[in-house]
Structure 1
Amino acid sequence: MQLMTEFTRLYRRYLFLRTACRSSGIRLDHGGKIVGYVEECVFTRDWVRLRGWSLSHRLSLEIGDMRHPVPRRIQRGDVVVAMGAQMLATDNQHGRVGFDLKLPWTRGAVRLIAEDMPEGGSWSLPVPGKGAIRSARRRTRVKFLRDVLRATPIGLRYLLGGRRQIDRDCLREIMGFDDEPARGLPLDPAFLAPDCAQDCRYPATTIIMPVYNAFELLTEALERVHLHTDVPWHLVLIEDASPDERVRPWLRDWAAKRADRVTLLLNDRNLGFIGSVNRGLQAAAGRGGPVILLNSDALVPAAWASRLLRPMLEDDRVASVTPMSNDATILTVPWIAGRITLPAAAADGIDAAARRLSPRARAQIPTGVGFCMAMSRRALDRVPALDSAFGRGYGEEVDWCRKAAAAGMIHLGIGNLFVEHRGGESFGSAAKAEALESSARIISARYPAFDDEVRHFIDTDPLLTARLALALTWAAQMDPDPIHVYLGHSLGGGAEHWLAARIAERARERRPTIVLRVGGERRFAVELHAEGAVLSGETDEIWLVRQLILTMPRRRIVYSCGVGDERPWELPRLLCDLSGDEDAALEVLFHDYFPLSPSLNLLNADGSYTGVPPTHSTDPAHQISSADVHVPLRSWREHWGAAVARAEQLTVFSNSSLEIVGSVWPAARGKIVCQPHEVLFGMPTMPMVEDERQGVIGVLGAIGAVKGAQIVSDLAYHLERQRDAPKLVIVGEFDHSFPLPPSVKVTGRYDPTILPKMLSSYGITAWLMPSVWPETFSFTTREMLATGLPVMAFDLGAQAEAVRAAANGHIVEPDPAAIHDCYQSLNSRRKT
């Protein structure tokens, strides 16, 4: 029976996650011209996902009667090349025209709308009909059977071999559950809005607490009830024949001192959790009013009861209300269905953050959680007792909630209250696990839709904003030092590699890390990295980000890279606000020169580098201009100069960068610290090739415009025209919008582990570093120098700094003839 239940649950989850209707290649035509392309459109039961690009600045997706903005934050060089002048006419100088978004879909028509195009543009997307959905489900069933056959040996090993985690992970991989796409769930600004409601008048409330052992925790739990309950209350204690002989005498004494508001019921024999609760419910029935079911291992904070009861007073449909906790299944912080142990006093700190959230920080949930659950009198009149079929407990609250829901009532989880739950204290962890498994079988049989509702709740997480806000406070308390908050981007590259390595390093030290990421589906993603997992929420509201981060005491704000943000001149003010407290600090990193200019590599609009642009520069690359805003370089530096002035440290990665940053902000020179990176990949030493051939010039890395693609193209054709010229090999990727003759070998993306073998097969005799901007640090240059072969580079930035310091480094003019001459000189020395 249990095996069949698990198999059914697996099948439903598989269908839920894997059934999808896909279409692709949808042209967005307007006025006889292509203005966009939907490269992939995927409909599932609950979601629609779109991937593609558009030239429209105000693109939205209409689902039913709701419109959702479609942010275009993905840089698409291929679109820039293909669209040419039509692309330039849209004033999108960075080519950020790509989108990839996922939104809830509840059937009905779906349209893309370009609101800024003449006479408007509108395109209906191919919504799947019932027949298409049925066909997709049939295909998914076939895939399910195929994957089950593949997974059967591992599944048997998992069931018969002690349910090991390694076998579980293998099963998830085979069934494709590890391929579930990461979702950018939105943060709800209403959760942080101020409370404008008037004070409520709270009715007399009965608190029911069954007691079984756990003596040390019991004393603290009851003292907290007595001190922190802020509504008229009466406590019904049910002592369930605890074997611990200290429990009953102590309870008698404690209750006697509070006889006016405490009733103590003593069970002659052990009735179990449900039997004890039902005794308490009978006692509470005569008193009227709502009931709060409270475990003896739940530790309530100050002013807890009014927050728990308020939703019932505002809406008589509410049957139950449950707070957030460290161990409360779908209401757990930070991870849904997880459990964390809190150090002393941490829970009160987390609840202080919860109290700052709005009373509107609430959401409908599939079931309440009985460790601390308010139950309305209206619901109790319909369902007056818990079902004894659940034995010692666990699952009985789900059954009660489902029966109340069948009567037209709803259940809420609230984010503005956090109650610590030291779960399993009474029965022990093993007993709890066994009880949970038994109750799950009963619930699945009685309420077949319940599992899907729980999965949908987890998938959408309507309490994410509260969960993240409380999780950030938890994370700050877990770090003995000020917690690090990094502002980074979503575009990949060197800055992201550095940040990923930093997060991993902190994880090894068991320190959480917070990342504010720009340039994604929405303007900001707020990420918590801790315990090998990531909790993330997204928003377009800068004030919401500010408010979330300011809830944490002791912060170290670290600017890593803000490239990709749609309003980057606002980021310095954010950095200053987040580091404005006495116990906060700011550090600014220079992975590029974005704080100096909107042109992060300091190149002019024509792609040339003529030095650090002066403040009065009018070159288009060093200012931001669009239909609704103009930010000249002077204003840009004023904005970023405020963050530089606030920062306690400016970190650069080469002496060249130190000089460049210091030349723009000379008053800040005293706090500039040079910390060169460690080279990530150790290159092999390569032997000199001793033969009479002209040799091979190697170019390493991904070569685009700023990395010198034009120079490489010009050099390739120059060498083609020379007699006995060296060959040219590009070890990596190349932007093919720059032409190359057929004789040039381009390897494409490579695996670093096989690079030594690749290099030896090409017979490289010298390297060229063709980058045309003053790099802040050049991993590629240092990797090429490590081979021992001659390395040529231009007199620019960190690459020139590294080349000058090396015996095998050579500075050369950025001219094909000069590069060829330098190589010939090196080659003649090699031959002699």
Structure 2
Amino acid sequence: MAWGDGLPQLEAARSIARRDDDPDSVRSALLLLLEQRGQHSCARVDFLDEEVKGWVTWRGTDDPKLSLTQADQSSTVQLPADPRHRFALNGRRAASFRLMRPPSATSQRLEIAQADHVIASIQLPANRAPDRRNAPQWPPRARNGETPPLTIIIPVYRDLAATRACIESALTAVACTPGSTIVVVDDASPEPAIKHLLGELAAELRIRLLTNAHNLGFVGAVNRALSETGAGDVVLLNSDTIVPKYALQRLRSAVRSTPRVGTATPLSNNGEYTSFPVPNRSNPLPSPGELDLLDELAGTANSGMAIDIPNGIGFCLYITRECLDAVQELSDDFYRGYLEDVDFCLRAAEAGFRNVCIPSVFVGHEGSRSFLGEKRSLVLRNLRVLEHRYRRYATECAAFLLADPLRDCRAALELKLLSSERPAAELHVIVCGSSIGREIAVGRCEQLAAEDQRGLVVHFRAEGGRQLASIFDPDGGAPQSIALDVATPEGREALLTCLTNLRIGALEIAEADRIPGACLAQLTQNFAYDLLVTDTRLAMRAAAGSGVHPDWTGLVERARCVTVIGEDGAAFSEAVLGLQVTRLSAPLVPRAPPRAVSGPARLGLLALHASAAEFRFARALSDQLAEADDDDVAIIVLGTTLDDLKLMQRPHVAVTGEIGVADVATLIEAHGITKLVLDIGEPAFGHPLVDALLATGLPAATTEWTPASAARGRTADLKLQPGLDADEAVAAISDWAVEDVLLHPDRRHGRLRREVGARLP
């Protein structure tokens, strides 16, 4: 809202007015809407099962009325103006309201109107809360050796291609699952091609077809099918899923061998908690052949396992007959088909049943095809109802995400996947040992991807008493969850086996001093490797001609080559280490040099390490600028520090918090940054943020490793000598900051100076 223009700015203002809890932000949003669009009236409505509350603002002498309508009943209340209301400003009148909602099995319509003008009109979902006073107890499952029938229920509405693929895969799976049948519900589909397809399949007796005369929605379609399914377990299957050949058979076997199961969900590319390889993300749908392989490998990697989860996921939800008899049907208290599966699972848990993931089964899911762009608003609306009914649900979800009990199952599948298939092309593996090195390695993989090569990262990190080696694909593919404890010989052997199974074309070792010694020896003895210089730790000292530290001489000599990213890394390696290096190009970032005008300095201080040295440097620079008594000079710390709040208590200091490459242009424009300070403490050669900031063309303070070099050829830059102590660097940067040179425009005198809300620092 502060930085935008036109429609995006107005949409932001509307969103803040209707959702934000900060009064100052809301007042600023209302003021902007009044000035830009002449919008005099606005309302916020919050609803739960028992009550509805909010506020409304308007102009004029007529007080608005609030009406709540359900079925054949309606009630209306007057909303008298409150002259002391916090939003009664700029000629507006305002009132707050809070009233109880009568229980209703159908949706309710809330409307706020002033004379003939409707200020707000909202459809509220049904608020018939479940009665938990006499929750049924979980009955024992009969174990007479007979396999009960299994019914697969597929509600269908739109998307012929996805529907055809789903049903065809389900038919193949049913043929391999004795006693199973498919029930398809045509929920008044508007697509004639879908009706034709379903009619043909029903005529051939391949499916049982139920046809709704009117669209009942997901809940109505499923409940109709459940009411006509008399015995056995059921599987609720979305029409945008792909079921591997033996998935249903193994899913049923796993459920029947696991005690007290009410609902079960398989792994999937798009299954929220159960997503693979990245959890809680919509991963791309694999091809049918890849799905069959994933399902087969999951069966061997995670055989016999069932992991408890907060709730099952409705894309492929297995429900036992005992659970269905106890919980009965899906609730129609939710609006248009989101989270009713969660409500069912939470009622099942109250009745004593377990909601589990069966990680030995994998089902593909395209996802979000029914409601497309509406999904987010639908989920948010229904989530408020859900969290009000089940007060511990949000806490249980947070605890599950933190613990991530499915991680080992995903890692086991990834290890099977890596050992079972040889990559089509050779892999480029980058080894690192810190969060900074991890970001450089990820950026290196992006370079490789631009050259049609695939890169993997091995990141060593300490976690408690363990030394973990995490192997992941920065592009989002598998692996993502492998984390081997290399503090043990077994873990080191597992790492070596995993890497040996890969078709490694190149192995780059960065941050050798941060990699456990036993692992470093193992890697260098078993693989040909390159060294990637990312910092100054290989040097005897940070001075020209000092050479390689004796501890690393052998490592450097045995390397196939030494590589660096960008000009600064090459200058350091040649001038300080005395090495001939292979220079890798920095990622291509379009340069957009700022318009040269005069103005006060606003220093962008890059903080990468969150170290004590960075914090002390920022504090000392702030003190130095304060002594210069130049109120126009400000420091914007780009990143996070050891104590952001303590720094921001200082005049003219702001801290952005963690940032990414995509944030650079926005932050520079919004804060009016005129100069950059990039080398605080340890340099990071090839770090994506450093490269992105250099690409802006702003004057920058960096270390000059080769004094004779005119790096980047810009006289406005500040070149700091290697080995300069912090006090000398602070003094040099302070003098440079207040120089009268051509600078980036002072954006504070542009559109950002308009009073449209609480000013960001």
TM-score (norm 1): 0.46
TM-score (norm 2): 0.50
Q: Which has the higher contact order (CA 8 A, sep 6+)?
A: 2
